[in-house]
Structure 1
Amino acid sequence: MKLLLLVTFVALAEFDYKRRSALSCPNLCSCSTESSSAEVVCSKGGLTGFPKSGLPPNTTTLSIQNTNLGRIAAGDLSAVPSLNYLQLYHTSLPSLPSDLLVSVPRLDTLDLTGNELVNLPANVFNHGSLHSLVVRNNRLVEANPAWFSDNSSLLHLDLSGNQLTSISAALLHKLPLLQTLDLDGNNLQELPADVFRSLRHLETLNLAGNKLITLKPQTFAHNLKLKHLYLQENRLQDLPANLLHRLQQLEFLLLNQNQLRHLPTGLLDGANPSLQIILTGNPWECDGKMEYLWKWLTDHRQNVPFEAEVTCDQPKTLKNLQVSSLNDSQLGVRRQ
């Protein structure tokens, strides 16, 4: 009998806790509460300030979406010390305070997609537990090394869709554990030879949608764990023959929508047998210099998605013909 009463008491206490927590939710937000955590989503029109009032104290996930928040202070987050995930998505933020994350020591993921951030203060991401940072589709013109502490624990960094014209080795030197780096859709025109040198754990690198014309031979020489390399939609005109030689784990390589006319002899020698490479949308010049790619395509058609769309642009007599369908006489290659 006593055991039954005890079980009943515990059940009622838990029910009462959930009931009271469920009643604690800011206006214009929805809350989903469990015994040890709560998820809060604020995506309703009319929210113009941080919803401090009514936030469940055990909130672990907070998502504020498509609002005119406009401003956030470090003190705002003191109401949710257990916060693990913070999303401020399209909330019209023009800036952040340097001490924004001081009161949320457990924060793992910060998503700032779609704001109006231009400049950020020093130490703004100097936060020991932060593993994933997304600052996608803002107005950043510089990625400042001062944002981070030395030996940051960051694993994923997304700076895509900004206005960056350069990325510095000094910044990436502070992020030695980085596994994913997304720089898609910026204005990068040139990369220093050693810029990725410190990223020994890097697995995914997205450089698509920039203005790169060429790459230096040693650009990826220290990224031996690289599996996914996205270089599409740049202005690449040529590539160093040894650019990929140390990337034995590379699984995906996207080179489509560039200005490549040939691939240098040896570029794909020793590549991972399962490598998938996309080559469409380049103005391939089908002459004697095409012999290396022509032979590689013939032997590795299974490695080239959309291989039928890898076609000649020049000369006019071969225009739009599938490269792998050509013969040695069309390319002007001497028979062995």
Structure 2
Amino acid sequence: MPNESQVLVLAVVWAWVATTASTGCPKICECKWRDGREMVVCQKANFIDVPRGLESTTQVLDLRHNNLRILPRDSFAYSGLLNLQKLWLNFCNIMWVEKGAFRELTHVKELDLSNNFLRDVPSGALADIASLRELRLAHNYLTVLSATAFLFSLDLVELDISYNKISKIEERALRVLGNLEILNVAGNKITFLNSTELRPLQVLRVIGIDDNPWDCDCRLQQLSHWMRERKLTASTPPSCSHPSWLYGRDWQALDDKHFLCGPHTMAATPRILATDRDNVTLMCRVESEVEVIITWLVDETPILNTNMTHRYKVKQSGDPDRQLYVSNFTILSVVREDQGIYRCLAENRAGTSVTDIMLQVSHEVVEVRSENVEQLFMRRGLLGAVSIVLFLVFFTCSVMYCKAKDIRLQVSEDNSLRTTKLTKNLHEKLGEYNAGHDSNSNIQTHDTQSWVICDSPGENVQTSDLTMKSGQEPNKSSPKQPLLIGAATSRVEIKKQEETDTHTNTEYEMYPERFNEENVLYKEINRHPSYSSLGNSLHFPDLLDLPKSHLSDLTEPQKCEPVQRPDEKLLLGTHRSCISSRRL
């Protein structure tokens, strides 16, 4: 049996083995303590992803010289490395950092992404590292520093974006970094840096701006003044690339008189159209801080006053206080061969500036102008005249239409009123006639509402009963006998219901009450009837137009011979309308 000392030794050994196995340090990595921090170094391990199984207490992770290429979302959260403070990812061929790649890394203070293939600042991914103090993006492929590049890294103290391809720094890209102390923008393609971007950096103490193609003109003068005021000196002296007379010189040591801008030229009239044999003047305005030399060129050939037998005149004037110079170039008696492009070249110690003026010469200019004006006025006048005529025609048609409509309405009302009056008179006269006829005989009168108009000459229209005995219901089964108006002669026939033929006897045997008191009034009237026109072009025979002698005959009871045929037509005039009458 082992004694107590042996048991204790074995326990310590097993504890050490278990502790060593639980650390999870990969064989290819090196786990150690450095500067009081637990550090894992995995350089040149050919990792394509963040290694897993590392101790969660790791504070410094060195993954330099691996092949990560892309950092996906939650790359470090899945590995459990939530206590990282320093993360070195340089030389990892990283081309893209996805938003959320650094999620839950709230303790990271230092991030190194140098020597990769990044083309933009990974602003979205940096938003998860709120406590970031040092950011290195040197030796990448950044081209533009956008205004929102460091919007989520406001606590940066050190920023290294050197040796990229940055040619433009947008406004507010750097001024938001109020805690910045070290700025390195060396080795880019920056030609101008606005001093307003650096003035808010009150604690800035180190700046690297060398190895850039600086334009040492009047714009850079403000940056030079600011660095002198702050007594801030670049780590490596910056040199001028432009203008040529300042090439290679340290612009921090230049005086204000050296920071000059090149001239700025403007053409008073960029294009001139002249008439043959006229005098033409080309004007060029130049803005310059110092004296300037102005030269006119035609086909890259300088023009002097002595050339071309004094046809060319050049006159210059200037106002140094206003930094404005004017050059007038006059061509006497221009010809077609003078047209072309003339160049105004201005040059001072800072550089040159050129503007072009086009001259066209034509003997048809005046004619073309007058013709264009005449055509313009004729076109507008013609359009105006056509518009006026169309308006007048439309107005006249509208007035005539309104008047015609009013006349039609008035005629229609008059016709309706006349028709109503005539119809009323006709009904009254017919009523008087029927009343008088009924009072002098036992034959019942016609009801005026039982008249029916037949426009078709061959149709027989049946009507309702003209007369009925008082208190007697109409016999629905009795046949209706029509009274017709023909075209040969005019007759009014009241037929008797008793028939002597076989058909009539049969009806009498079936309906004896229909034939008890039936008589027929038969009277010829040997004249054409008059017509009362109704609104719908139908015509009623006007019985009141009959002669008084005939009317007196009609008022007296007449005895007529029995009618042998059940239907006999009475024709009145030429209008074939049918009036049927039946008596029960």
Q: Name the aligned partner's letter for residue 286 of structure 1.
A: C
After superposing the two structures, state which structure 1 stretch, 265-274 or 281-290, moved more.
265-274
Query: Counterparts in 2 of 1:189-268, with a 5 A limit?
Result: 189-268=119-198
Q: Which residue matches 1:42?
A: none
Matched, 1:280 2:210: yes
Query: Counterparts in 2 of 1:128-167, with a 5 A limit?
Result: 128-149=56-77, 152-167=82-97
Query: Counterparts in 2 of 1:45-84, with a 5 A limit?
Result: 58=16, 80-81=20-21, 83=23
Q: Equivalents in 2 of 1:313, 1:56: separation in Å?
A: 70
Q: Equivalents in 1 of 2:53, 2:99: separation in Å?
A: 18
Matched, 1:305 2:235: yes
Distance change (3 Å), C-alpha of 1:87 and 1:236 = farther
Q: Equivalents in 2 of 1:280, 1:163: separation in Å?
A: 27
Q: Equivalents in 1 of 2:160, 2:200: separation in Å?
A: 19
Q: Name the aligned partner's letter for residue 318 of structure 1.
A: L
Matched, 1:320 2:248: yes
Of 93, 106, 109, 1:176 maps to 106
Q: Name the aligned partner's letter for residue 183 of structure 1.
A: L
Q: Equivalents in 1 of 2:84, 2:27: separation in Å?
A: 17
Matched, 1:110 2:50: no
Q: Deviations over 1:239-276 (max 9, x none)?
A: 12322223222121111111111112411112133421
**Where in structure 1 are there 5+ consecutive unaligned residues?**
1-12, 21-35, 37-54, 60-77, 92-106
Q: Equivalents in 1 of 2:111, 2:242: separation in Å?
A: 36
Q: Offset of 1:83 from its aligned partner?
A: 4.1
Is the 8 Å Cα contact of residues 242 and 266 (structure 1) preserved in structure 2?
Answer: no
Q: Which residue matches 1:43?
A: none
Q: Equivalents in 2 of 1:178, 1:280: separation in Å?
A: 30
After superposing the two structures, state which structure 1 stretch, 124-133 or 221-230, moved more.
124-133
Q: Offset of 1:215 from its aligned partner?
A: 1.7
Is the 8 Å Cα contact of residues 125 and 148 (structure 1) preserved in structure 2?
Answer: no
State TM-score, norm by structure 2: 0.38
Is the 8 Å Cα contact of residues 184 and 208 (structure 1) preserved in structure 2?
Answer: yes
Q: Offset of 1:81 from its aligned partner?
A: 4.1
Matched, 1:291 2:221: yes
Q: Say which SS state the counterpart of residue 135 (structure 2) adopts.
A: strand
Is the 8 Å Cα contact of residues 100 and 124 (structure 2) preserved in structure 1?
Answer: no
Q: Offset of 1:233 from its aligned partner?
A: 1.1
Q: Equivalents in 2 of 1:82, 1:300: separation in Å?
A: 55
Q: Equivalents in 2 of 1:257, 1:285: separation in Å?
A: 15
Is the 8 Å Cα contact of residues 203 and 226 (structure 1) preserved in structure 2?
Answer: yes
Q: Equivalents in 2 of 1:297, 1:56: separation in Å?
A: 65
Q: Equivalents in 1 of 2:45, 2:224: separation in Å?
A: 46
Is the 8 Å Cα contact of residues 194 and 218 (structure 1) preserved in structure 2?
Answer: no
Is the 8 Å Cα contact of residues 310 and 322 (structure 1) preserved in structure 2?
Answer: yes
Is the 8 Å Cα contact of residues 257 and 281 (structure 1) preserved in structure 2?
Answer: yes
Q: Name the aligned partner's letter for residue 226 of structure 1.
A: L
Q: Deviations over 1:295-318 (max 9, x none)?
A: 223223434222xx2110112111
Is the 8 Å Cα contact of residues 116 and 138 (structure 1) preserved in structure 2?
Answer: yes
Is the 8 Å Cα contact of residues 287 and 332 (structure 1) preserved in structure 2?
Answer: yes
Q: Which residue matches 1:48?
A: none
Q: Name the aligned partner's letter for residue 139 of structure 1.
A: N
After superposing the two structures, state which structure 1 stretch, 179-188 or 236-245, moved more.
236-245
Is the 8 Å Cα contact of residues 166 and 191 (structure 1) preserved in structure 2?
Answer: no
Q: Offset of 1:87 from its aligned partner?
A: 8.2
After superposing the two structures, state which structure 1 stretch, 242-251 or 146-155, moved more.
146-155
Distance change (3 Å), C-alpha of 1:120 and 1:314 = same
Q: Offset of 1:116 from its aligned partner?
A: 1.7
Q: Deviations over 1:160-215 (max 9, x none)?
A: 01111122221023323221110010011113543422221001101011111112
Supply the RMSD in Å over aligned alpha carbons. Answer: 3.4
Q: Name the aligned partner's letter for residue 112 of structure 1.
A: C
Q: Equivalents in 2 of 1:169, 1:242: separation in Å?
A: 22
Distance change (3 Å), C-alpha of 1:195 and 1:119 = closer
Q: Which one has the bigger strand percentage? A: 2
Q: Say which SS state the counterpart of residue 145 (structure 1) adopts.
A: coil
Q: Equivalents in 2 of 1:143, 1:244: separation in Å?
A: 26
**Where in structure 2 are there 5+ consecutive unaligned residues?**
31-36, 262-288, 291-584
Q: Say which SS state the counterpart of residue 147 (structure 1) adopts.
A: coil
Q: Equivalents in 2 of 1:84, 1:179: separation in Å?
A: 25
Q: Which one has the bigger helix percentage? A: 2
Q: Looking at CA atoms only, which structure, 1 or 2, has the larger radius of gyration?
A: 2
Q: Equivalents in 1 of 2:234, 2:25: separation in Å?
A: 39
Q: Equivalents in 2 of 1:262, 1:295: separation in Å?
A: 14
Distance change (3 Å), C-alpha of 1:108 and 1:261 = same
